[in-house]
Amino acid sequence: SQKIEQNSEALNIQEGKTATLTCNYTNYSPAYLQWYRQDPGRGPVFLLLIRENEKEKRKERLKVTFDTTLKQSLFHITASQPADSATYLCALPMGAIYNQGGKLIFGQGTELSVKP
Amino acid sequence: DAGVTQSPTHLIKTRGQQVTLRCSPKSGHDTVSWYQQALGQGPQFIFQYYEEEERQRGNFPDRFSGHQFPNYSSELNVNALLLGDSALYLCASSYRDRGEQYFGPGTRLTVT
């Protein structure tokens, strides 16, 4: 069955450094991959979607890469700030066709802590 | 522009009871998905509603049922509550087959 794995250990970095989070998946060829941010006790917030034919996508200080050969996505936050501290989740759609949409499988999330 | 809203925010129930959770999607969205999130885990898909019908379902027992109304709002019903049903229940809305989903703040359900 499909499986998604993220760094299980929390990531602690110093303010101003680049945070890099990893998402690996198996037994699957998704049409796209998404990243969400979740603060304690709150719902996830959509950050970025990258499609299988896109190698890299950027949004302000965020950068996502998608390597369909390695079955891996990397999520980077440059010039990190304490306000970036949260849990980051990667998610894949259940279905190889983009226009099926809907059902997402989430990784367990990686907790990021940015120290001032 | 109102985002996704859920009610109630917190709920305490006893084993064996039944519960109904409510969700209003983001304006312009017509698809609602429900997720269960245990502490320290990612959200797990329960089911999705589109055009008032259940379109997809995850690996949850029949005790979990739902409904979507003509105004696109939705309810999640859980019967015969078990202690293991204690979790954060998240509603997410989207437009048709657009991939990104917008989540509500969740309902924290505690079963004692």
DSSP string covering B56-73: EE-S--TTEEEEE-TTS-
* Total domain count, chain B: 1
- What gap in Å lies between CA B60 and CA A57, rounded to an integer? 34
- What gap in Å lies between CA B107 and CA B45, rounded to an integer? 15
Kindly list the residues from chain B whose CB atom is less than 8 angstroms away from the CB atom of residue A108: 40-42
Picking from A41, A44, A101, the nearest residue to B99 by CB comes out as A101
The chain-wide mean pLDDT, for chain A, equals 90
Picking from B42, B43, B94, the nearest residue to A101 by CB comes out as B94
The type of residue at B62 is D
Burial class (CB in 10 A: 0-12, 13-18, 19+), A104: buried
Predicted local confidence at residue A99, as pLDDT: 42
- Cβ(B33)–Cβ(A103) under 8 Å? yes
Per-residue pLDDT averaged across A69-79, rounded?
96
Picking from B40, B41, B97, the nearest residue to A101 by CB comes out as B97
pLDDT class for A106, splitting at 50, 70, 90?
Answer: very high
**Cβ contact B44–A106 (<8 Å):** yes
Task: Give B42→chain A minimum CA distance, Å.
Answer: 4
Please list the pLDDT of chain B residue by residue as tens digits (112 residues): 679 999 999 999 999 999 999 999 999 999 999 999 999 999 999 999 988 999 888 899 999 999 999 999 999 999 999 999 999 999 999 987 677 899 999 999 999 9
Phi, psi dihedrals of residue A54, rounded to the nearest 5°:
-110, 130
Per-residue pLDDT averaged across A14-33, rounded?
92
Domain extents in chain A: 3-89
**CA dihedral over B45, B104, B14, B64, signed as positive or negative:** negative
CATH 3.40.50.720 fits A3-89, yes or no: no
Q: Is the pLDDT of residue A81 over 60?
A: yes
SS3 A98: helix
For position B81, which CATH number holds? 2.60.40.10
Predicted local confidence at residue A93, as pLDDT: 86
Report the candidate in A112, A63, A60 with the shortest Cα–Cα distance to residue A85.
A112
The whole domain housing B72 covers 5-111
